Structures are given as structure tokens and as C-alpha cells.
Amino acid sequence: MPLSPRAARTLQILLLVLAVALFVALGVAARDGNTPLMKAVLRGDRAQVAALLDQGAAVDERNRYGWTALMHAARLGETEIARLLLDRGAAVDARDRDGWTPLMRAAMRGHLATARLLIERGAEVNASNDEGWTALHWAVVRGHGELARLLIERGADLEAQTAQGWTPRMLAIREEDREMLELLDDAGARR
């Protein structure tokens, strides 16, 4: 039985909407270039991460933004997955296309245990991104006091300046974070 013109038009519109939705979904999924290893990290699936590495997945392969699987693990605070990736040879100080390191990602999100692991594995606490921001800048501006304390104890530069001239102390003042300011002052920050 043929469709009425109205039903045919409705079906055409529905199929067009479905096609566009599928195109967008596939385009978004493919656009970031995340590898199966990265997707397993994003799901927090340690067993799958281990299996993919056992099958030969490249631990430091990058997506379109220059991110590695370790950067995703650090951003999400997936400490045990980060440990596994590091055990399998992940570069602890890999940089994305904007100069961010895994430690900066962990610091920005306040993932203390992950930051501690990265530092123990040799992460450079004073590395800065393309805008001059260090892990300490991010810990300060986001109010992650314990993480800032860890970074300071591990030698973070208290006077490091961003490209805009902000020091960690200036950021604490800007954010009106008295506890952070006290922590920085007690550690010897002057600017």
C-alpha cells in the first residue's frame, strides 16, 4: 500500500533527522581521534586498558589535540590506570598541542593521588604550558590546597609567571583564597 503524500513527507523528514543525527554522532566520535586505549581510559576500564596494552596498543599515541591516554587518566583522577600506563612506558611529561602535561591536568582537577603518582614517577613540577601556567598555578586558581602544598614541597616555583604576568600568589589574591595565600606566604612567595 503506497504512503500518502503527507506520510511520505513525514518519513522523509524522519529519515533525514536520523541521518543527520548519525552523521553528527559519528563525526563527533571521530573528530577527537581518541584511540580504543583512550576510550577505555575514559570509561575507567582498567582491565580493558591492560588488555589493549597487552595486545600492543601504543601507550603514547595521540589524539587530534595531542592528548595521550595518560593525560586522560590524569584529568579524570584515574590513579590506578595512570600507574598501569606509566608501568607500560607512558611518557610522564608528554605535552599536548597547547603544552599541557598530565600533571597540569591532575592539578587543575584536584586529583591529589594522581598528582603524587606523577611526581613520584618524575613529572616536572615546574613545567609550563604555552600560556605559562604551571601545575601550581592551576592548583591555586582552583583552590586545591593540599595539591598546592604537595607541589610546593616538591619544589614548585612560587614566583613562576603566566604569559599575563600572574604568579600563584597573585592568583590566590584574585580568587580571595586566604588559606591559599597563607600557604604560599608561609612557603616564601613574595610576588
Residue 15 lies in a domain: no
Domain, as residue range, for 152 = 125-191
Confidence of residue 31 (pLDDT cuts 50, 70, 90): confident
pLDDT higher than threshold 90 for residue 22: no
Confidence of residue 4 (pLDDT cuts 50, 70, 90): confident
Residue 134 lies in a domain: yes
Residue 47 lies in a domain: no
User: Would you tell me how many other CB atoms lie within 10 Å of the CB of residue 155?
Assistant: 11
pLDDT in tens, 66-105: 999 999 999 999 999 999 999 999 999 999 999 999 999 9
For 146-162, what is the mean pLDDT? 98
Confidence of residue 27 (pLDDT cuts 50, 70, 90): very low
Q: How many domains does the chain have?
A: 1
Treating both helix axes as pointing N-terminal to C-terminal, what angle do 69-76 and 79-87 enclose, rounded to 10 degrees? 160
Residue 19 lies in a domain: no
Closest CA to 70 of 115, 4, 129: 115
CA atoms in the 13 A half-sphere facing the CB of 188 = 8
For 29-51, what is the mean pLDDT? 92
pLDDT higher than threshold 60 for residue 23: no
Per the structure block, which three cell numbers stand in for 190?
A: 613574595
Q: What mean pLDDT is reported for the chain?
A: 91
Residues 6+ apart with CB under 8 A from 34: 42, 63, 67, 72
For 103-115, what is the mean pLDDT? 98
Confidence of residue 1 (pLDDT cuts 50, 70, 90): low
Helix (H) / strand (E) element for 26: namely: helix 5-31
Question: With pLDDT > 90 as the criterion, what percentage of the chain qualifies?
Answer: 83
pLDDT higher than threshold 70 for residue 16: no
pLDDT higher than threshold 70 for residue 3: no
pLDDT score, position 20: 55
Residue 142 lies in a domain: yes
Residue 8 lies in a domain: no
pLDDT higher than threshold 50 for residue 28: no
- What CATH number has the domain bearing residue 136? 1.25.40.20
pLDDT score, position 8: 62
Residue 83 lies in a domain: no
